[in-house]
Amino acid sequence: MMRARRTVIATRVAALVAVCSVVVALTGCTSRAQEAASGSTRGFPANAIIGVALPDKTSENFAIAGQLFVEGLTKAGFSPDVQYAPATNTVAEQQNEIEAMITRGAKVIIIGAKDGSQLSTQVADAKRAGAMVISYDRLILNTRNVDYYVAYDNERVGELQGQALLAGMKAKYPDKTSYNIELFAGSPDDNNSSVFFQGAMKVLQPKINDGTLKVVSGQTAFKQVTTQGWLAQNAQSRMDTLLAGFYSGTELDGVLAPNDTLARAILQSVKTAGKPYPIVTGQDSEAASVRLIMQGIQYSTINKDTRKLVAEAIKMVSELQRGSRVDVNDTTSYNNGAKVVPTFLLTPQLVTRQNAAQSYATDPTLEPLTRG
């Protein structure tokens, strides 16, 4: 009798354990499902190492970003590990830096990719080590191991550049009904370069088709107009060649320049050739270019306030550290070839001489340049 009773109890306990294990499993799964759905993950220590891998300093924005990440992450209680990949170096430098951050135990790695198509191994290693990956400014491609993307709307940047080129030429040459232009794009290994160019050509291509714009050199394909490494000397050299080859007896009215570094190189080439300045666009609100805009030499730039972009990336880190929902405002647009990456997108602003003072009113470095 006792043996039978023990058997019944044992059977009931086993059943109870089985039911509980199913509930725990479901609850465990549910909590993991809830985390996945909510975009939150389990938190990590408040003083965790946070890796920041930036490409190079060929443009001011990345130089500024590095300092802002050190200050902002430290202020938030984290241990920043900010590294750059030298402009002349290969992608390997950045790959090695990211691996070192993983080895040091970084809980989040923020990456401004030197080449977003060559980091799949590194972000897979990060994921295996339990680190989250935030793609900063430039989207990392062809891998599911990117957790978030934070950037300005870079297609909108291109559209604004195209619109500025047209508006600037119309204002400078009121009696012209057609304009001679040349096109420049950024480095082919930077995913943003094609995004900027596509945005600009959405505006310019219809005007090329209807004859309002003429690209005198005929160089209109992305591959024909890229600037390796975003290097000023490469843009200046190409502009020299274009001027010598196509503009000995022809006026150049405008140039689509994808950022300020290249805009200044193009303007230098025109100056050296002894020709009048065309309308030249830009991007990044670099101090030297803001000065040229106030002098009427460069026509426009784009304000992508690095302080806001860095702050948004650090906000994501803090949300991940708390294990709370990560704030994103675009969950459909950014398919990196392997997945749609949840994104926080900021809005870029076109700046010309007319609105520079208002645009940079809160920027202690740029505001003084807009006076008088």
Q: Which residues bind ligand GAL (CB under 6 A)?
A: 58-59, 61-62, 137-138, 186, 190, 192, 230, 259, 283-284, 304
Residue 354, helix vs strand vs coil:
coil
**What minimum distance in Å lies between the beta carbon of 190 and ligand GAL?**
5
**What minimum distance in Å lies between the beta carbon of 256 and ligand GAL?**
14
Nearer to ligand GAL, 102 or 235 (CB): 235
* Helices and strands, counts by H and E, the chain: 12, 12
**Cβ distance 304 to 152 under 8 Å?**
yes
**What minimum distance in Å lies between the beta carbon of 105 and ligand GAL?**
29
DSSP 8-class letter at 188 = T
**Which residues fall within 8 angstroms of residue 74, CB to CB, at 6 or more apart?**
80
**What minimum distance in Å lies between the beta carbon of 153 and ligand GAL?**
11
HSE-CB at 228 with a 13 A cutoff on CA atoms is 7
Nearer to ligand GAL, 192 or 281 (CB): 192
Nearer to ligand GAL, 60 or 125 (CB): 60
> What is the DSSP secondary-structure string of 267-335?
HHHHHHTT----EE---S--HHHHHHHHTTSS-EEEE--HHHHHHHHHHHHHHHHHT-PPP-SBSSS-B
**Which residues fall within 8 angstroms of residue 136, CB to CB, at 6 or more apart?**
52, 54, 65, 110, 111, 112, 150, 151, 309, 313
HSE-CB at 322 with a 13 A cutoff on CA atoms is 11
Nearer to ligand GAL, 163 or 259 (CB): 259
Helix (H) or strand (E) holding 222: helix 222-225
**What minimum distance in Å lies between the beta carbon of 60 and ligand GAL?**
8
**Nearest-angstrom CA–CA distance, 183 and 258:** 9
Nearer to ligand GAL, 61 or 352 (CB): 61
**What minimum distance in Å lies between the beta carbon of 87 and ligand GAL?**
9
Of 191, 13, 202, the residue nearest 114 (C-alpha): 191
**What minimum distance in Å lies between the beta carbon of 20 and ligand GAL?**
53
Nearer to ligand GAL, 64 or 243 (CB): 64
Written as six digits, the tokens of 94 are 């950045």
Of 3, 7, 118, the residue nearest 55 (C-alpha): 118
**What minimum distance in Å lies between the beta carbon of 278 and ligand GAL?**
21
Nearer to ligand GAL, 138 or 156 (CB): 138
Nearer to ligand GAL, 40 or 142 (CB): 142
